[in-house]
Copies of this chain bind each other. A is one copy, B any other.
Amino acid sequence: MTSDQSELDRALWLSPRSAEPGAYDAELDSGWQIGGGVNGGLLLSLVGTALRARIAGGPHADPVAVSAYYLAASVPGPATLRTEVLRAGRGMTSLGCSLVQADGDGREVERIRALATYGDLGALPDVVRTTASPPDLPPVEECFATGDAPPTDFMAETGFLKRIDLRMDPSCVGWAVGKPSGRGLLQGWLRMADGREPDVLSLLLAADAFPPVAFDLGMLGWSPTLELTVHVRARPAPGWLRIKASTVNVAGGMLEEDCEVWDSAGRLVAQSRQLARLPR
């Protein structure tokens, strides 16, 4: 399969507006919904794609850091992404992005505002000193496919779970049968269901592809993301990604969620943190 044919690449297809430089039209497909809106990781990949398009042909094609503030839930249908170059430096380019959708009256409503820094991950020094360890997971075939989980009330829309292939560590799925571990930890394997290989843009999706880590604390229900920052630290090798999501601080009706994304070569390719609201 070429990447052009993958479900993800179709979702990331953008049409530049000829009359408005730096603006791109996109179509949010209903198949990427989860909970009450379009998955926030898919939207972050879309933001990352628009920013890459904005500086295409330049030396900085890789998202190095992307921070998105989710102002309102995005819904299936047309969306417009407006991009801005904040600073074009020698080593990095910094950008901003706004994702808007029209409401019922045709007025634009901003769904996401984002900032980012792009660079060339292939040109950076090779020295790696990672003291974190990849999650210790049973083999893929011994993990639980979330696509097989029984449908639940709090996940009305689960199209997203059909487009990813997520295999959860059996030690982290007690919440599905009313026995959460209470550790605040979810880990497992991830790839795109249609076999599309990971790249720096799909890592932005991977950082928000897991069920809410609050599930492992027995808090079932959706945790809307307020803010999500992803650091992409290396281009991923082909194959399955290993992901570890955890929280250490549930307080004030919110929790932080940290995510490590490891590639098949054993490299920590992305780190993310988000602040999310607890299920009400």
Contacts and interface: CB of A to CB of B under 8 A. Distances in A.
Interface of A: 64-65, 67, 69, 71-72, 86-87, 92, 94, 96, 110, 113-117, 121, 124-125, 127-132, 183-184, 217, 226-227, 229, 231, 233-234, 247-254, 256, 267-268, 271, 273, 275
A67 B125 contact: no
Q: What is the count of identical protomers in the complex?
A: 2
Contact of A252 (B115, B121, B227): B121
Given A129-B250, A275-B65, A113 B115 contact: yes
A123 to B, nearest CB: 9
A250 B128 contact: yes
Contacts of A125: 252-253
A69 B121 contact: no
B184 A131 contact: yes
A233 B253 contact: no
B132 A249 contact: yes
Nearest to A98: B86
A127 B250 contact: yes
Contacts of A92: 226
A267 to B, nearest CB: 8
The 8 closest A-B pairs by CB, nearest first: A124-B252, A132-B248, A129-B250, A67-B67, A65-B227, A128-B251, A71-B87, A125-B253
Nearest to A71: B87
Given A94-B113, A96-B113, A226-B92, A249 B67 contact: no
Given A65-B227, A72-B87, A229-B229, A251 B129 contact: yes
Contacts of A233: 249, 251-252, 254, 256
A47 to B, nearest CB: 13
Nearest to A229: B229
Contacts of A72: 87
16 contacts: A65-B69, A65-B226, A65-B275, A67-B67, A67-B229, A69-B115, A96-B113, A114-B115, A117-B275, A124-B252, A127-B253, A129-B250, A130-B248, A132-B249, A233-B251, A233-B254
Given A92-B226, A128-B250, A233-B254, 6 more contacts: A69-B86, A86-B110, A113-B115, A131-B249, A229-B273, A251-B268
Contact of A275 (B231, B253, B275): B231
Contact of A86 (B113, B124, B254): B113
